[in-house]
Amino acid sequence: MRAGHRAAGAAVLNQPDRIRVELGERGYDVIVGPGAADAVTHMTGKAAERVAVLADEAVAELHGDDVQDRLRDGGADVRLVPLPTGEGAKSLAAVEEACRHVIGRGFERGDIVVGLGGGAATDAAGFVAAVLLRGVRWVALPTSLLGQVDAAVGGKTGVDLPEGKNLVGAFHQPMAVGCDPAFLATLPLREFRAGLAEVVKTAWIGDPELIGRLESDPPGDPDHPAVAEIVRRCVAVKARIVSEDEREGGARAQLNFGHTLGHAIETEAAGRYRHGEAVALGMVAAVQLSVETGRCEEALLHRLIRLLEALGLPTHDSELDPDAVVARTHLDKKRHGGEDRYQLTLGLGSISVARDLPEGAPRAAVEFLRRPLSRA
């Protein structure tokens, strides 16, 4: 049964579902649920003579041998190419080293790159696939919650510059994505919670009923029985949006809710925050901006803060420098015509792009993040 047709009340996913990203000849399936990794590696191992597995070094120790064995079962010659752990994978130096490693193994245009790891690893692997030999096929096996619900789906690949995140990249759709809950069992708790920020973002823009589910039964760790179903619902939202707007010309911009200031906070914090933690702060700032500009009621801001705190995510930071954070937004890749773009909310399920914010409003939103907790 297609994932989009599953009953809304389903809480546990016991077998993999296929969610189609409808992009014509670039379309592909995101396979979600137990057994997803088996299904994707079986298909990939049969589809190419050579497969290069670009894997986060830490993840490679946990899952690298198993993934390589599954690919070899399909008949492929498989090589593992280590990537730096975490955001270190998303540098031009790391991409160059990976490309040289792969080319040195005799890689050809008909071969396949596999990205194994969290969102940083799949971003880097997808970018390598986009530029290597002017574009080769690739597959994503995201091992983090953030990667499964967001980063590995949609074909946005990229790496960072010192000036900001994802400033060098390409749209390059994978041939398949496998979101297997078994990978999440080895995920550190902080990384799992960081991924929940992207769950909240996705639910906020496209599945308001899931917000209520998260409020009534917050998933505290990867063993929560509804995690696979949560991933499925988030993938269904993102697949629907990407199918409508592949290259962020319209509807896809709403997926950046919380990211304009979130990316700036992440870069300015210089490693203090995981991506999802910075996005949590960015969403609080975005809803504060929405309240201050009359787009939504203040009660919605307090509702978001309560939910994020229940999920173990940050909602304030007294150490932020508002001027430095706002200055970082001027390097954001979503700027157009010299204007900053902020994804604000009119309510659950409704996002609008603001280009005409009052002068000083973004700074005031960052200042709000510096508030004492008692003011939340």
Domains of the chain plus CATH, in order, are: 3-187+222-237 (3.40.50.1970), 257-375 (1.20.1090.10)
Average pLDDT over residues 5-32: 77
User: Any idea what DSSP says for residue 336?
Assistant: B
CA nearest to 175, candidates 214, 125, 225:
125
Band of residue 6 on the pLDDT scale cut at 50, 70, 90: very low
pLDDT for the residue 355:
83
Average pLDDT over residues 157-166: 90
- CB of 286 within 8 A of CB of 362? no
Q: Which amino acid is at 289?
A: L
Tokens encoding 61: 């120790």
pLDDT at 338 over 60: no
Q: Which amino acid is at 198?
A: E
User: Any idea what DSSP says for residue 56?
Assistant: E
Tokens encoding 301: 């801001």
Tokens encoding 56: 């986060």
Q: Which amino acid is at 238?
A: K
Q: Where are the beta strands (DSSP E) in 5-69?
A: 17-21, 28-32, 50-56
- CB of 250 within 8 A of CB of 215? no
Q: What angle do CA 66, 71, 72 make, to 5 degrees?
A: 95
What are the tens digits of pLDDT across the range 236-285?
A: 999 999 999 999 878 888 999 999 999 999 999 988 999 999 999 999 99
Residue 185 sits at φ, ψ, to 5 deg, of -65, -25
Average pLDDT over residues 199-214: 97
> What's the longest Cα–Cα distance across the chain?
60
Tokens encoding 314: 């940050």
What are the tens digits of pLDDT across the range 48-95?
A: 999 999 999 999 999 999 999 999 999 999 999 999 999 999 999 999
